[in-house]
Amino acid sequence: MVEKNQKYVFLYALIITFVIFNFGIFMGYKLESSRVDKIDEMYIEAELDLLDQRIQREAFEIVGLDCEDSIQANIDFADKIFNEAQKIKKFENANRMNSEILFQHKRFDLLRTLFWMNSIKIKEKCGADYSNVVYFYEYDNPSLEQKAEQSFFSNLLVELKEKHGSKIMLIPIAGDESIPSINLLMKKYEIEELPVILIDEKTKINEVNDKEDIEKYLK
């Protein structure tokens, strides 16, 4: 029979727990960091693409490049950032420790805003027949009702994008991140409540009772 006092086991178990726990945290941090790295890569690629877009637009004005090519490049870029936005959303939902992802989100929002401006310009210069559909949503702390509404808006816009394809430039932007340029644009288009869908810088939609409510404004 072992009758010796083994109370030191309490301490040993604590030390082992610290080791296992910290290893788990480390692995978790690594996992999340790898996701942030992936987003970082996507950002750099997107940034390059957008820069290329802007040069094309400038070149169109200065040396008269083909308008069709510029529109097509813009459409391709829109599809790309739409898919990336979906991926980033999933990573954000799954990241718990690495707050760098929030910073990345802001960078992407700025990039999308820049893209929106670019789209407006191309439409003006080339008379493109697509619609800019900018979706402003609450990012930081949406209420239950906002969450439900945003999930619904999100699915609805995805369906519209699938249906209309390159006729829609779908640009999701968080409207509550205190980014001055986005705030200024929201002020200009009198956006006070989130979520809201802004179509072609003219029509604001806060409430949708039918898909037609949006489709009738699309070109």
Partner 1 sequence: MEILPIIYLGYMFISIYFLSLFLMLYFKNRNFLFDVPKLTRKYSLSVLVPAYNEEDTIGKTIESIFDSDYLIKELIVLNDGSSDKTGEIAESFLKKFSKLKVINKENSGKADSLNQGIEIATGELIAVVDADSYPEKDAFSKLVGFFDDEKVGVATPFIVPRNRKSFFERLQSIEYSVIAFTRKLLGYVDAIYVTPGPLAIYRKDALEKIGGFDTQNITEDIEATWHLTKEGYKRKMCLNARATTTVPTKLKIWFKQRRRWNLGGLQCISKYKGDFFKKGMLGFFILPFFVLQLFLGLLGLSIFVYLITSRAISNYLFVNHSINVGTSVITMDNLLITPSFLNYLGVILFVFGTIFTIAVLFIMKEKFLVKQNIFNLLFYLLIYLSVYPFIMITSLYHYFRGIRKW
Contact positions toward partner 1, by CB under 8 A? 1-3, 5-7, 9-10, 12-14, 16-17, 20-21, 24-25, 27-29, 31-32, 86, 90-91, 93-97, 99, 144-145, 147-149, 151-152, 155-156, 158-159, 208-211
CB of 164 to partner 1, least distance (A): 14
The tokens of 132 are what? 């800019």
What's the gap between Cα 26 and its chain centre?
A: 27
Nearer to partner 1 (CB atom), residue 42 or residue 182: 42
CB of 20 to partner 1, least distance (A): 5
**Cβ contacts of 65 within 8 Å, gap of 6 or more:** 56, 59
Nearer to partner 1 (CB atom), residue 72 or residue 86: 86
CB of 167 to partner 1, least distance (A): 18
Nearer to partner 1 (CB atom), residue 88 or residue 128: 88
What's the gap between Cα 166 and its chain centre?
A: 18
CB of 90 to partner 1, least distance (A): 4
Nearer to partner 1 (CB atom), residue 48 or residue 97: 97
CB of 98 to partner 1, least distance (A): 9
CB of 216 to partner 1, least distance (A): 14
Nearer to partner 1 (CB atom), residue 95 or residue 131: 95
**Cβ contacts of 163 within 8 Å, gap of 6 or more:** none
Q: What is the distance between the alpha carbons of residues 149 and 208, in angstroms, rounded to a whole number?
A: 10
Going from the C-alpha of 151 to that of each of 65, 104, 148, 197, the distances in angstroms are 40, 22, 5, 13
φ, ψ (nearest 5 deg) of residue 108: -65, -40
With tokens 């040993």, the residue in question is 12
Nearer to partner 1 (CB atom), residue 54 or residue 164: 164
Going from the C-alpha of 106 to that of each of 16, 37, 146, the distances in angstroms are 40, 15, 20
